[in-house]
């Protein structure tokens, strides 16, 4: 079927994410991907500055991941994990356990980041129930945070970030407070915990970088403070590393850079190198032990149909091979330096509020963006795919992007802002 036909015939039947379907600009039809490029159906090539919502860390179509998935497809695409297991899932669980810090070593698979967060929340509440504590059912989450679009995940995301007000009444109520980044916010959280600490199942945070909430950075001391505060009030600490995991902030996991070990960690996005949907909720031994019992009622009653899909696990194992064999973290360090240098000309412009870089994340925060759609289209006209949101223009390129391609991205930002 030629492009014109499938596009026109299908567009009236798809409902796209985060889009006002009536007024949106028509989506760009993509024919294929190649390395760090998105090839459109009309033959234009865009250099990808986003890595498909932060997933494609090795670029697209990496031959090593492709052949691993092809081999797995021939052997077995999928079997349910109820009563069955397979080599790819067990191998991936073992490898993740070895990579993650401390004793976070029990891996529960699901198929999307939001679901991994839901599972982490369920795990945290049931951890307390299994230990006979019925009061700890609330979560502390942080302003600027984002943990997904399902009901539970929305309830621990910053209500100011989305259309969450619409759903007030449906969402369970948790406490979304300021991150303890200085004396005042630390004192405020301390005071809150001294009153309500015994109702808290867990605190949940994106360590070091809050992504979809505005690409905001905080330092390792903040993460350390959260660990101390969680310990003091007895709550668990959940790190949502769905965005920050797998090298994005400069270390394999952001918590590693901060030297802090949580009780539960969530992973997804770059887990399969941007090829197939897969997520993991990984528990520490302490958490897992609360479920280890002769009593079937103490089991974790959760089981996504496609949990541990063999193709996705094969892709993730191949992606981990690439982290072992190729100098990904050195590439992230080089990207970081290049983005710092090349985005610097944006600094000091009247419309620019801040320019910041952390690992392979480059951010130009503007005072405001009046017309996001028009700005996104400007970037496409420059031959790059960059997707600003809120008041933020950002780059999260594949780690394998060449210096020339990265310069095309940064110079498009400098040029478009200049206009």
Ligand X SMILES: Cc1ncc(COP(=O)(O)O)c(C=O)c1O
Catalytically active residues, by annotation: 18, 146, 240, 269
Q: Is 250 in the site for ligand X (CB under 6 A)?
A: no
CB of residue 374 vs ligand X: minimum separation in angstroms? 24
Q: Give the nearest distance from C-beta 284 to ligand X in angstroms.
A: 19
Q: Binding to ligand X (CB under 6 A): which residues in 323-382?
A: none
Measured from the CB atom, is 206 or 365 closer to ligand X?
206
Nearest-CB residue to ligand X? 113
Minimum CB–partner distance for residue 141 and ligand X (Å) = 11
* Integer Cα distance of 42 and 95 in angstroms: 42
Q: Is 223 in the site for ligand X (CB under 6 A)?
A: no
Stretch that binds ligand X, among 78-86, 109-117, 168-176, 297-305 (CB under 6 A): 109-117
C-alpha to C-alpha distance for 36 and 360, rounded to whole angstroms: 14
The residue among 146, 58, 31 whose CA lies nearest residue 397 is 58
Question: 262-301 mask for ligand X (x: CB under 6 A)?
Answer: ------x---------------------------------
Using the rule CB under 6 A, give the single segment among 60-68, 127-135, 144-152, 179-187 that binds ligand X.
144-152
Task: Rule CB under 6 A: say whether 206 interacts with ligand X.
Answer: yes
Neighbours of 303 (CB within 10 A): 13
Instruction: Let me know: does 257 contact 248? Beta carbons within 8 Å.
Output: no
Residue 35 is given by DSSP the state B
Burial of 100-135, coded b for 16+ CB within 10 Å and e otherwise, reads: bbeebbbbbbbbbbbbbbbbbbbbbbbbbebeeeee
In the complex with ligand X, which residue's Cβ is closer, 18 or 348? 18
Of the candidate residues 147, 174, 328, 356, the single one contacting ligand X (CB under 6 A): 147
User: Is residue 158 at the binding interface for ligand X, with CB under 6 A as the rule?
Assistant: no
> Given candidates 108, 142, 243, 399, which one binds ligand X under the rule CB under 6 A?
243
Q: In terms of C-beta density within 10 A (0-12 exposed, 13-18 middle, 19 or more buried), how is residue 165 classed?
A: exposed
Is residue 113 close enough to count as binding ligand X by CB under 6 A? yes
- On the CB side of 378, how many CA atoms lie within 13 Å of its CA? 17
197 or 277: whose CB is closer to ligand X? 277
With CB under 6 A as the contact rule, the residue among 48, 240, 342, 365 that binds ligand X is 240
Least spacing, CB of residue 207 vs ligand X, in Å: 10
Closer residue to ligand X in complex, CB, 130/251: 251
Q: How many whole angstroms separate alpha carbon 377 and alpha carbon 125? A: 45
Kindly state the tokens that stand for 349: 């412009």
Stretch binding ligand X (CB under 6 A), from 119-127, 133-141, 142-150, 387-395: 142-150
Candidate list 93, 107, 230, 242; residue touching ligand X; CB under 6 A: 242
Going by their DSSP bridges, the two strands 37-40 and 45-48 should be labelled as antiparallel
Q: For 376, left (φ over 0), alpha (ψ -120 to 50), or beta?
A: alpha
Nearest to ligand X of 113, 308 (CB atom): 113
Of positions 110, 112, 251, 338, contacts ligand X by CB under 6 A: 112
CB nearer to ligand X: give 49 or 197: 49
Distance between CA 13 and CA 29 in Å, rounded? 15
**DSSP secondary-structure letter at 389?**
B
Does residue 148 interact with ligand X by CB under 6 A? yes
Chosen residue from 141, 203, 212, 346 binding ligand X by CB under 6 A: 212
Count of residues in contact with ligand X, rule CB under 6 A:
14
48 contributes a contact to ligand X by CB under 6 A: no
* CB crowding 284-297: b at 16 or more within 10 Å, else e: beebbebbeeeeee
Q: What is the CA radius of gyration of the chain?
A: 22
419 exposed, middle or buried (CB, 10 Å; 0-12, 13-18, 19+)?
Answer: exposed
Q: Is 44 left (phi over 0), alpha (psi -120 to 50) or beta?
A: beta
- Cβ proximity to ligand X: between 162 and 383 the closer is 162
Residues that bind ligand X (CB under 6 A): 112-114, 117, 146-148, 206, 211-212, 240, 242-243, 268
């Amino acid at each position: 079927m030629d492009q014109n036909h499938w596009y026109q015939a299908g567009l009236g039947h798809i409902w796209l994410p985060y889009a006002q379907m009536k007024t949106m600009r028509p989506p760009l039809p993509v024919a294929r991907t190649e390395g760090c490029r998105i090839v459109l159906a009309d033959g234009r090539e865009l250099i990808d500055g986003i890595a498909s919502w932060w997933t494609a860390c090795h670029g697209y179509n990496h031959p090593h991941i492709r052949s691993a998935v092809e081999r797995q497809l021939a052997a077995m695409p999928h079997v349910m994990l109820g009563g069955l297991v397979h080599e790819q899932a067990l191998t991936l669980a073992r490898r993740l356990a070895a990579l993650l810090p401390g004793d976070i070593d029990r891996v529960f698979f699901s198929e999307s980041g939001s679901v991994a967060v839901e599972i982490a929340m369920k795990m945290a509440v049931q951890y307390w129930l299994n230990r006979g504590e019925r009061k700890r059912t609330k979560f502390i989450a942080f302003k600027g945070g984002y943990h997904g679009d399902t009901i539970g995940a929305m309830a621990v995301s910053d209500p100011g970030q989305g259309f969450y007000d619409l759903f007030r009444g449906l969402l369970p109520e948790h406490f979304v407070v300021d991150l303890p980044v200085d004396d005042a916010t630390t004192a405020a959280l301390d005071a809150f915990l001294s009153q309500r600490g015994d109702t808290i199942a867990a605190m949940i945070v994106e360590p070091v970088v809050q992504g979809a909430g505005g690409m905001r950075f905080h330092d390792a001391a903040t993460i350390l403070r959260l660990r101390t505060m969680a310990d003091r009030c007895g709550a668990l600490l959940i790190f949502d590393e769905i965005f920050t995991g797998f090298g994005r902030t400069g270390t394999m996991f952001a918590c590693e850079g901060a030297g802090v070990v949580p009780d539960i960690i969530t992973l997804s996005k770059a887990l399969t190198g941007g090829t197939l949907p897969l997520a993991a909720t990984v528990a520490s031994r302490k958490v897992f032990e609360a479920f280890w019992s002769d009593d079937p009622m103490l089991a974790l009653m959760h089981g996504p149909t496609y949990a541990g899909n063999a193709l996705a696990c094969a892709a993730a194992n191949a992606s981990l091979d690439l982290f072992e064999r190729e100098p990904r973290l050195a590439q992230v360090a080089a990207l970081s330096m290049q983005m710092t240098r090349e985005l610097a000309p944006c600094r000091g412009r009247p419309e620019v509020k801040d320019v910041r870089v952390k690992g392979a994340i480059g951010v130009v925060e503007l005072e405001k963006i009046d017309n996001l759609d028009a700005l996104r289209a400007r970037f496409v006209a420059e031959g790059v795919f960059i997707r600003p949101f809120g008041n933020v223009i950002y780059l999260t390129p594949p780690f394998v992007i060449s210096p020339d391609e990265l310069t095309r991205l940064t110079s498009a930002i400098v040029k478009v802002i200049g206009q």
